Amino acid sequence: MYNLSVSSAAAGCTLTQQPTAAPAAISGRVTTPDGAPLGGVSIFLDGAQSQTAITDANGNYSFENAVADRFYTVTPEIANYTFTPQNRSFSLLGNKTDATFTATPNAIATQNPLETPEYFVRQQYLDFLGREPDQDGLDFWAGKLNACGPDAACVRQERIEISAAFFASEEFRQTGSFVYRLYKAGLGRELNYQEFTADRAQVVDNGALSASRDAFANSFVQRAEFLGKYNGANSASSFVSALLQTIQQASGVGLSAERDALIARYQTGTSMNESRSLALRDAIEAASFKQSEMNTSFVLTEYFGYLRRDADAGGYQFWLDVLNNRVAGNYRSMVCAFLTSAEYQKRFSPVVTRSNSECSQ
């Protein structure tokens, strides 16, 4: 900010810079009456600036770069809880770290928190990317839902598009899909929910994704199941041949054209474990293999993400048939069916606000 001052003694102008208050942070924590952290609480900042945050698994939230020397109000909100205090108002003189709240569950649940844009978006991050949302991502996706206002059809369509976008994201391909493809190509089988949950947690975009992918792939080829499958395939040629056979049998995809490149990649390793890991990782990036597994992995990870369980055989085959044969690539109906299922909604509240009838609209 600048101030223009004029001297009365002479028609001179002096441009002077006024001091600007340093930005400050506002942070706090939300807990239940017994002291347990409560994640998924929308926190609204009003006053000199308007922002929205959401509490993480530890109940923490923060607003960065707030203008100091201004007045603010912080208000928490989540379905089926009452807060003490209802809000906090203060003049921000410096970093404020004690904007805490206690959330008491209501005696009777009357809402489902999935109907709150920020809560819905955060859940997509947790279920499909395995991490808390970054602020820019939260603002972007929640903003799409908030922009719908009272338009129910708009909200319905945006929920489908937003949720599907997480599966289609590059981050998911580098994490959850990466784990899926290692199992399918390396072991010749699909992984189960427990395996996916445990292994995906080791491959999360926390700022060191490349290193975590390297570490996981290196440990994967040292597992007993993998060692048993490739016992005796100790040369570049024999290992790559065995790997290509596994992929062919599991997916129907022939990668013989990649054989020489995979052998060359194998030979760049400094140990047998590293060599196997390098060849396997290159194999799972083959475009034909990724394409062949697109629908299968989509259906399977829908069960893992939305319902947090293994797929039942009937449902799995039904949705795979829909994607493969009925309306090729029609992911919208499947995503809608999972989002509006009672099983999914009851993960968060006994109140079911949506039904599969929405999916025909």
At 13 the pLDDT is: 46
- In terms of domains, do 88 and 178 share one? no
- Can you give the residue range of the structural domain that contains 271? 172-290
The domain that holds 104 is classified in CATH as 2.60.40.1120
Asked whether residue 97 is assigned to any structural domain, the reply reads: yes
Asked whether residue 127 is assigned to any structural domain, the reply reads: no
Asked whether residue 156 is assigned to any structural domain, the reply reads: no
The total number of structural domains that make up the chain: 2
- In terms of domains, do 101 and 190 share one? no
- In terms of domains, do 176 and 89 share one? no
At 22 the pLDDT is: 72
Do strands 101-105 and 24-31 pair parallel, antiparallel, or not at all (unpaired)? parallel
Residue ending a domain, among 247, 273, 290, is 290
CA distance 174 to 299: 18
Residue ending a domain, among 66, 92, 108, is 108
- In terms of domains, do 176 and 93 share one? no
- In terms of domains, do 99 and 187 share one? no
CB atoms within 10 A of CB 2: 7
What is the mean pLDDT of each successive set of 10 residues along the chain, which is 361 residues long?
A: 36 49 88 98 95 97 92 97 97 90 98 98 97 96 97 96 95 96 98 97 88 96 98 96 97 95 97 98 96 94 97 95 80 94 98 94 69
CB atoms within 10 A of CB 189: 11
CA distance 272 to 226: 13
In a 13 Å sphere around the CA of 202, the CA atoms on its Cβ side amount to: 15
CA distance 243 to 288: 15
Asked whether residue 273 is assigned to any structural domain, the reply reads: yes
Nearest to 90, CA basis, from 61, 63, 60, 69 = 69
Asked whether residue 149 is assigned to any structural domain, the reply reads: no
Nearest to 339, CA basis, from 347, 328, 330 = 347
CA distance 212 to 22: 37
Q: Answer yes or no: pTM beyond 0.85.
A: yes
Task: Report CA 277 to chain centroid distance, whole Å.
Answer: 26
In angstroms, what CA-CA distances link 220 with 158, 198, 259, 281, 310? 37, 12, 21, 11, 21
